Structure 1
Amino acid sequence: MNDITRRDAGLPESAESNQRGDSLLPPVDIFEEGNALHILADMPGVTRESLHIEVDSNVLSLEGDVALEMPETLTAIYAEVRAQRYARRFTLSHEIDSDAIEARIDNGVVHVTLPKKATHRRRRIEIQAA
């Protein structure tokens, strides 16, 4: 599981494998922009209907299925492309407002926006003259 924190955002838990169990670990990029973090996950073949994103306590889960349909009239002689499942989980820091998380998918790239709580946003303090 990855920790989403300002200090080590984007560092993978382990670099040993791109596959965990029966699921593929989608590659991700994590960016910080102003008052939010952004996760971009590459999940080719996943559609809006087959994508499932949820937050449980402080764990964000991204899961998506790729279903390949072969016409019944065809017989596979050799097949490397197969149905697969992508799954990735992140532990969110206390700075993230989990009620305001938004997600979208475009051409197999999932973009999750993780807004920071107002209490953890950077703000300029107005200085009063005495």
Structure 2
Amino acid sequence: MSESKELKVREKQPLDSAAEQTKPGPVFTPNVDIFETEKAITLLADMPGVKADNLNVDLRDDTLTLTGEVGPAAGTPGEKIYVEYETGRYYRQFSLSEVIAQEKIDAKLSDGVLRLTLPKVEKATPRRIAVQAG
């Protein structure tokens, strides 16, 4: 798989100590798929259990940061016998190049999948420039 020069995936970096975290609990790295066309890059991030109001997509200094929080399942009657569903936070960062039109980035969350559309800057249209005699 080749990596796009317009979008650099930052290496996974686990948090080394609890002192680095501001909230207790695990931090998950969402799995992503990245697709590229001539006009845009599409990034799909798997964030099951995250609701739109608990999701942040932040763009600062050419760094795109995804954070989301998943809470405990609500409304489950009865006593817990066995639980595998983990609560915690999602965190992932990407470096953007100047080829991405940052002001036009679009984000949608549906069925636990975040879809980011990162449009590319339109290239200058080739044209003939008339020279005027002066």
Aligned-partner SS, 1:45: coil
Distance 1:77 1:70, change over 3 A: farther
Please give the alpha-carbon distance, in whole angstroms, between the structure 2 residues aligned to 1:10 and 1:57. Answer: 14
Please give the alpha-carbon distance, in whole angstroms, between the structure 1 residues aligned to 2:110 and 2:32. Answer: 15
Please give the alpha-carbon distance, in whole angstroms, between the structure 1 residues aligned to 2:84 and 2:60. Answer: 35
Q: How many residues align?
A: 117
Please give the alpha-carbon distance, in whole angstroms, between the structure 1 residues aligned to 2:9 and 2:103. Answer: 24
Supply the AA of the counterpart residue of 1:34. Answer: E
Whether the 8 Å contact between 2:9 and 2:94 is mirrored in structure 1 is: no
Whether the 8 Å contact between 2:63 and 2:94 is mirrored in structure 1 is: yes
Q: Are 2:52 and 1:48 aligned?
A: yes
Distance 1:114 1:75, change over 3 A: same
What TM-score do you get using the length of structure 1 for normalisation? Answer: 0.74
Where structure 1 has 5 or more consecutive residues not aligned to the other structure, the ranges are none
Where structure 2 has 5 or more consecutive residues not aligned to the other structure, the ranges are 16-25, 129-134
Please give the alpha-carbon distance, in whole angstroms, between the structure 1 residues aligned to 2:120 and 2:60. Answer: 17
After superposition, the CA RMSD in angstroms is 2.7
Identical positions, percent: 33
Whether the 8 Å contact between 1:38 and 1:113 is mirrored in structure 2 is: yes
Matched with 1:13 is 11
Please give the alpha-carbon distance, in whole angstroms, between the structure 2 residues aligned to 1:112 and 1:68. Answer: 26
Please give the alpha-carbon distance, in whole angstroms, between the structure 2 residues aligned to 1:70 and 1:37. Answer: 35
Whether the 8 Å contact between 1:10 and 1:29 is mirrored in structure 2 is: no
Matched with 1:115 is 119
Displacement of 1:108 after TM fit?
Answer: 0.5
Whether the 8 Å contact between 2:55 and 2:66 is mirrored in structure 1 is: yes
Distance 1:52 1:4, change over 3 A: farther
Moved over 6 A (4+): none
What TM-score do you get using the length of structure 2 for normalisation? Answer: 0.72
Matched with 2:132 is none
Aligned-partner SS, 2:103: helix
Aligned-partner SS, 1:49: helix
Displacement of 1:80 after TM fit?
Answer: 2.0
